[in-house]
Amino acid sequence: MQHTKTDSSSHTVSSALHNAVLCLNKNSNTPRLDAEILLATLLGKPRSYLHTWPQNQLTPAQHFAFCELIERRREGEPVAYLTGQQEFWSLIYRVTPDTLIPRPETEHLVELALRQIPKDSCYQIADLGTGPGTIALALAHERPRCHVMAVEYCGQALQVAMENARRLGITNVTFRQSDWFSNLAQDRFDMITANPPYICSNDPYLAQKELHYEPATALVSGPTGFEAIEAIIVGAQSHLKSEACLLLEHGYDQGPATTDLLRRHGYHDVAGYKDYAGHDRVAMGRYNGI
Ligand code: GLN
């Protein structure tokens, strides 16, 4: 997108958006939406402002900053990293390149988990690989009497999760830096949730430019795609209370293999669930360890 700091021509909200859409057309599936989110965030206004005041002038500095954002978006940088935030479960999460960007399909896991947690229960829950606190904070918010331990290996991501809890005013959550269960001592939980990395290292899907901006450790599991899933299924056996429940997100083509793994490792009441796009997405099982 053409821009210079000394650009003296005037730009309205409407013309800036129009040019941005032309610029993003080939590189984004949602050029108009991306441009509106970026401009609204830059101006510190809701998106409705752009529709109400299309003829408002942008200052040269605003226009310059907008062009820079559009250029980065055109290169493939995700909108959530450009704005520093992503909505999930109607909560606004801060995200950074150290954290995976929460995905809508993960809301399905939250919904399934909530169905297993009676409203007034005081469950102890662990969310493994929490990233910006995605599942942990949504569950803690919905079930204020429960206690959620948000577990994350990456220290920087854990800092973001802690900041999100502070900003959202969620206090029934604690944070633990741990490589899956390595730092969880003898703790046992009424429920364990995880959205682990589950893409296999040679999956052509990884060629998508946007994914290159996200932490590979949160996306890529290893040569089979099941390394993290299996480690969690095995490790959870010594961290689930009797009859407690494990819920895992997995890839669209990993449903039968994940439910098989659960059964082979002694879980019962095993079930698989589809997301709203109709893809296998979540596997659940109970374990009767102690
Ligand atoms: N669902 C994500 C994607 O398709 C992957 C998330 C993950 O590996 N846990 O990009």
pLDDT in tens, the chain (290 residues): 655 444 557 899 999 999 999 999 999 999 999 999 999 999 999 999 999 999 999 999 999 999 999 999 999 999 999 999 999 999 999 999 999 999 999 999 999 999 999 999 999 999 999 999 999 999 999 999 999 999 999 999 999 999 999 999 999 999 999 999 999 999 999 999 999 999 999 999 999 999 999 999 999 999 999 999 999 999 999 999 999 999 999 999 999 999 999 999 999 999 999 998 999 999 999 998 76
Distance 50 CA to ligand 1 centre (A): 32
Distance 76 CA to ligand 1 centre (A): 17
pLDDT at res. 91 = 98
Q: From the CA of 199, give the closest atom in ligand 1.
A: 8
Report the alpha-carbon distance of residue 53 to residue 237 in Å, rounded. 57
pLDDT at res. 5 = 46
From 107, 229, 249, the mutation candidate for ligand 1 (largest count of ligand atoms within 8 A of CB) is 249
β-bridge partners, 133:
none
Q: Which residues line ligand 1 (CB under 6 A)?
A: 103, 195-199, 219
Distance 279 CA to ligand 1 centre (A): 13
From 195, 252, 276, the mutation candidate for ligand 1 (largest count of ligand atoms within 8 A of CB) is 195
Element (H, E) at 58: strand 57-58
Distance 9 CA to ligand 1 centre (A): 43
pLDDT at res. 289 = 72
pLDDT at res. 8 = 53
Contacts 24+ apart (CB under 8 A), 207-211: 209/75, 209/76, 210/76, 210/77, 210/78
Contacts of 256 (CB under 8 A, 6+ apart): 272, 280
Using CA positions, which residue lies closest to atom 5 of ligand 1? 219
Q: How far is CA 183 from CA 26, 43, 176, 249, in A?
A: 46, 43, 8, 22
pLDDT at res. 34 = 97
Distance 248 CA to ligand 1 centre (A): 12
Report the alpha-carbon distance of residue 156 to residue 99 in Å, rounded. 8
Q: From the CA of 195, give the closest atom in ligand 1.
A: 9
C-beta separation of 12 from 58 below 8 A = yes
Domain annotation for the chain: domains and CATH numbers: 8-75 (1.10.8.10), 97-288 (3.40.50.150)
pLDDT at res. 87 = 96
Distance 168 CA to ligand 1 centre (A): 24
Using CA positions, which residue lies closest to atom 9 of ligand 1? 197
Distance 170 CA to ligand 1 centre (A): 25
pLDDT at res. 2 = 53
